[in-house]
Every structure is written in structure tokens, then in C-alpha cells.
């Protein structure tokens, strides 16, 4: 049996194991820069957009306090997507246009929220909340899909940020550990 423990691994610097370590670190660093930072940026954007939407929604809910019954006078159609690679089928979403009376004055406004299929038919009634200081500003309690999407953005973005931070910290830790282990072999 050979005595491998006493071998001197620090020769003139041309050891093959050093080349493999450098190559591995290069590949890991390349993958790290290629994937982690773009994912971190995307997660941050999702988190920020979701947070802005949640805060805007909560502010709107606080401002719009007066309940009124509105009548849906039309549904505004907007192109949502084109379906299929070769098919020319178009998919539309529909936003209700309300008319309502507040303090004896008639108001009409189009919803910022749209659904597929239309949430209301023309002639349906909906309870909406208006801002007493600006009755043209409305809040629609029935549109929960917007809130759910905003919360999902915050959660997915937050998890993505935490995962990327964990990968960054692990990468820094491994680099320091690798540096310490190569320093031991080189001394």
C-alpha cells in the first residue's frame, strides 16, 4: 500500500487538480452569473409590482367608502392574446362600464378590471364603492382576481428573492471554503 497522506500536492503549480478546480469554479461562476442574477431581477420586479398593486388596492379601498348600486351599460372588449401558433383565433377580455347615481348626479365609468368571460351582462346591477371626494373613482369589491394576482406576485417574488439570496450566500460560503482548502494544500 502506498502512503498517499504524505504526498506533497503543492508542486510547481501545474498540478492537474488545480486546473480542474479552476475549471469547475469558472463553470459554477458562469452559471451563477447567467441564471441567479436574472432570476433575482425578475423576482424583484414581480415582488415590486405585486406590492405596488396591493398597496394601490388598499389605498383605493380606504378612499372609496360609499356603496352605490351601478348598472352595467356595456362591456368594453380588449384583445387579451392570440391563441395558437398558426391559428388566428383572438382571445378577448371584457371590462364593465357602469352608470350610477351619487348625490343626485349621474356618473359613468369603465372598470380598470377585465375578465374572460365578461363578469356581468349588460343590464346587470353591481354594488360598487365610490370615493366621496371624487365620485368618478370606484372600487369593485367583486373583482377578487386582481387582488389574488397581486398577492401571488408578492409571494412568488419574495420566494424568488429569498432563494436567490440563499444561493448567493451559499456561493460566497463555498468560495471561501474552497479558498481555505486550496490554501491548506498550497502551504
Question: 87 and 113 share a domain?
Answer: yes
- Domain range for 163: 16-53+151-186
Could you tell me if residue 31 is inside a domain? yes
In whole angstroms, give the CA distance from residue 78 to residue 67: 28
Question: 34 and 90 share a domain?
Answer: no
SS (H, E, C) 33-96: HHHHHHHHHHHHHHHHHHHHHHHHHHHHHHHCCEEEEEEEEEEEEEEEEEECCCCCEEEEEEEE
According to the model, what pLDDT value does residue 112 have? Answer: 84
Overall average pLDDT of the 151-162 stretch = 89
Other C-beta atoms closer than 10 Å to the C-beta of 143 total 20
In whole angstroms, give the CA distance from residue 126 to residue 72: 7
Q: Dump pLDDT digits (tens) for 41-50.
A: 899 999 999 9
Overall average pLDDT of the 169-184 stretch = 71
Kindly state the percentage of the chain with pLDDT values over 90.
Answer: 34
pLDDT band at 181 (very low <50, low <70, confident <90, very high): low
Overall average pLDDT of the 55-79 stretch = 91
In whole angstroms, give the CA distance from residue 125 to residue 140: 12
Could you tell me if residue 157 is inside a domain? yes
Joined grid coordinates for residue 159: 420566494
Structural domains in the chain (count): 2
Question: 86 and 107 share a domain?
Answer: yes
Residue 4 has pLDDT above 50, yes or no: no
Amino acid at each position: 500500500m502506498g502512503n498517499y497522506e504524505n504526498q506533497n500536492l503543492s508542486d510547481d503549480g501545474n498540478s492537474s487538480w488545480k486546473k480542474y478546480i479552476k475549471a469547475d469554479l469558472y463553470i459554477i461562476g458562469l452559471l451563477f452569473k447567467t441564471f441567479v442574477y436574472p432570476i433575482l431581477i425578475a423576482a424583484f420586479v414581480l415582488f415590486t409590482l405585486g406590492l405596488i398593486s396591493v398597496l394601490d388596492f388598499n389605498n383605493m379601498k380606504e378612499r372609496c367608502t360609499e356603496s352605490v348600486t351601478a348598472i352595467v351599460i356595456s362591456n368594453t372588449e380588449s384583445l387579451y392574446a392570440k391563441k395558437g401558433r398558426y391559428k388566428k383565433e383572438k382571445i378577448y377580455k371584457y371590462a364593465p362600464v357602469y352608470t350610477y347615481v351619487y348625490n343626485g348626479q349621474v356618473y359613468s365609468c369603465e372598470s380598470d378590471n377585465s375578465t374572460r368571460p365578461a363578469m356581468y351582462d349588460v343590464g346587470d346591477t353591481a354594488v360598487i364603492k365610490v370615493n366621496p371626494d371624487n365620485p368618478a373613482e370606484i372600487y369593485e369589491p367583486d373583482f377578487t382576481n386582481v387582488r389574488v394576482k397581486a398577492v401571488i406576485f408578492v409571494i412568488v417574488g419574495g420566494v424568488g428573492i429569498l432563494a436567490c439570496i440563499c444561493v448567493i450566500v451559499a456561493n460566497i460560503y463555498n468560495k471561501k471554503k474552497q479558498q481555505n482548502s486550496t490554501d491548506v494544500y498550497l502551504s
